[in-house]
Structure formats: structure tokens, C-alpha cells
Amino acid sequence: MRTLLVCISLLFSIFHYTMSQNIPRNNSKVTLVIHGGAGTITKSSMTPEKELAYKEKLAEALKAGYNIMMKGGTSIEAVVATIKILEDSPLFNAGKGAVYTNEGKNELDASIMDGNSHQAGAVAGVTTIKNPIEAALAIMNNSPHVMMVGRGAEEFAVSQGVEVVAPSYFHTKDRYEQLQKVLGSDTTKLDQSIESEPEGKLGQFNDEKFGTVGAVALDQYGNLAAGTSTGGMTNKKFGRIGDSPIIGAGTYADNSSCAVSATGHGEYFIKEVVAYDIAALMKYSRLTVKEAAEKVILEKLSKINAEGGVIALDKNGNISMPFNTAGMYRGYIQKEGNPNVFIYKD
């Protein structure tokens, strides 16, 4: 009897191995696109050193995700690994570089969506999770829910082994100084134009007003994925949720249309259901990913003075990265394996 079970088990293993070899793979379509926020990012407000630091970090993130997918990893794995690198860098308003609320706290939001299974996970208003994208992933994979907020989200993340840090981990001197500049005005950073600030006054950072990081990926199995992570807006009222953790607004992925991650004035992106609107224009109006993304960002949002941008990717590896601000940290990598990174309108 035991021998029989071993034989059956062996046959199953051989069967599964054979099947896994038959999964259609197409390395040539492996694509990863990322953004690190959009805003008043101009050449005149940059130093060569800062520009290099941003470009190097974007390239590092692109290569990390790309390598995962070239080794057979999924688009979800690539999106998470890529976003973690951006979260861990103080250059971007997500994870370690998060801005401060008007209470002097860092509240973080993130979301992820799998274009194949159509599963999704999101966290909002968390203050102790080192990599919010990991918590979003845990919710997607291991909970019956899609979106969790605050302490409830943190407790769930802890139960899943997601790394927790003291809130002070997110303290960065330059972000704190950003808050002090706007405190007392009761305006969020969004409302404040600092384009005329003398160069360098904001320390390490330019005015990436809508600092958010995101990634969209297409793996060799033909599956799309999207993820977004943010520290929100400087001086936002605590408890405010932007578009980043909202499926359909800041993040969306569906193999039948596209994967999208957004960065911008979150309130408008929620009301205009930006990420899903791009997918809907592809599905229902038969636009290409480029036409759909540009229509939403350059026409619809520009018309109502809503600033920001998106990265979008379809199942054939077609990329679009439109934005209606001065700049958007962004980049992509495809089969050749060379990261292409950009900051300004080129």
C-alpha cells in the first residue's frame, strides 16, 4: 500500500513538472515600468548630484524587478521587489521617505493588484509597517478582504510576519522641515506653490508634489500586475486617504486591458477613477494603452486642472507614461535589460 502511494505521488510529481514546462513563456515581452512621483520637477531646481541619485535609484529598482522576472518570477513578485527598493530610499515619498501629516506623523498607504487572478490588496493610514507594499500583498494573498486601514491593518500585517518598525524609522530631517514650512497655514503641500523657492531651500528634495512610487509589470507568463505606495501629502489632515490605496483610482491591473499605477492630486484621481478609466477606454472604446492613458491624463485631468501622471502597460508590453506636470520620475526596462530612466519632459 505504501509503495503504491509513493508511486502515485511520483507520477503526480512528474506530471506537474511536465505541465510546468508547458506554461507558455515569452521572455521577449518581459517589461517593467516604474514611477517615483510627479510634480514641479525642473532641471533648474536640480543639482547634477541629486539628478544622479534619483536616476541611479530608479535604475537599481528596475534591474531588481527585471532580474526576478527573467529568472521565472511573476509580475507580482517583480512589482513588490521594485517598490520595496523605492520605499526604502529616502529620495521618494513612500516608506522611509514619507512626508508628514499635520500632526507630525507619517501615514502610509499602498495597494497591489494581480491582473491574472484579479485579486487585490491595500492598506491605508499605517504608521509602523516598514514596507506597506508587503502588507498590501499579505492582505491580497492571505485575507478575505481587499482593503484594511490603521491599527487593524497593522495587526493583520504583524500576524503575517510583515516587518514592523517604530514610527521614528520614517523620520527624515528634510521631510520634517518640509512640514514646518507649511505648518500653520492649514494648507496641504498640494495647495502650496513653491515653484519660486530658491534652489536647494527644500534640502534634499525637489517639489515632487505628488510623491508616490509605483510599478507595473508584465512577466513571461503574460500576466500583468500593478502596485503603488505613498506617504501622502505633506501637512495632510490625519486620516486622509488618497488614491494610492484605492483599487480603480491609484492602482489597477487586468490581463484583458492593462496595468496602471498613478501619482497625482489624489482627490481628483479618486473622483475620476483614473486607473480603471484607462482600462475601460481600452475595453469599451478600443483605444490603445497609449491613447487611453493620454486621453485620461492629458485631456480629461488637464481640463479640470488635476495634476499628475500614470504609468500604464498592456499585455503586449506596450508602455505609456503620460503626465501633465513639469516632471515625473519614471523609467522602464524591457527584454534588452537596459534601464531607461527619465525625470523631465523630454
- Catalytic residues, by residue number, are 212
Query: Under rule CB under 8 A, which residues in 111-150 are in contact with a copy of itself?
Result: 113, 118-120, 124-125, 143-150
Site residue total, a copy of itself (CB under 8 A) = 46
Burial of 71 (0-12, 13-18, 19+ CB in 10 A): exposed
Q: Does residue 179 touch a copy of itself according to CB under 8 A?
A: no
- From the list 7-15, 57-65, 270-278, 331-339, the region that binds a copy of itself by CB under 8 A is 270-278
**From candidates 32, 62, 213, 247, binder to a copy of itself by CB under 8 A:** 247
d(CA 63, CA 67): 6
- Residue (215 or 260) nearer to a copy of itself, CB: 260
- Asked if residue 284 binds a copy of itself (CB under 8 A), the reply is yes
**C-alpha atoms less than 13 angstroms from C-alpha of 319 in its C-beta half-sphere:** 19
CA distances from 68 to 71, 73, 234 (A): 5, 5, 34
Instruction: Tell me whether residue 46 or residue 306 sits nearer to a copy of itself (CB atom).
Output: 306
DSSP structure class, residue 278 = H
Is the separation of the CB atoms in 264 and 38 below 8 Å? yes
CB 216 within 8 A of CB 311: yes
241 belongs to the binding site for a copy of itself (CB under 8 A): yes
x-or-dash string of contact with a copy of itself, 185-224, rule CB under 8 A? ---x-xx---------------------------------
CB 149 → a copy of itself: shortest distance, Å? Answer: 5
**Residue 169 φ/ψ, nearest 5 degrees:** -55, -35
In the list 167, 203, 239, 337, the residue contacting a copy of itself (rule: CB under 8 A) is 239
Angle among Cα 225, 210, 90 to the nearest 5 degrees reads: 80
Binding mask 287-316 toward a copy of itself (x if CB under 8 A, else -) reads -----------------x------------
**Binding flag, residue 246, a copy of itself (CB under 8 A):** yes
Beta carbons within 8 Å of 285's beta carbon, 6+ residues apart: 292
**Least distance from C-beta 147 to a copy of itself, angstroms?**
4
Q: Which of 162, 163, 147, 137 is nearest to 74 (CA)?
A: 137
Q: How far is the CB of 321 from a copy of itself (least distance, A)?
A: 22
Q: In a 10 Å sphere around its CB, with 0-12 CB exposed, 13-18 middle and 19+ buried, how is residue 95 labelled?
A: buried
Residues near a copy of itself (CB under 8 A): 113, 118-120, 124-125, 143-153, 155-156, 188, 190-191, 236-242, 246-249, 252, 266-267, 270-271, 273, 276-277, 280-281, 284-285, 304
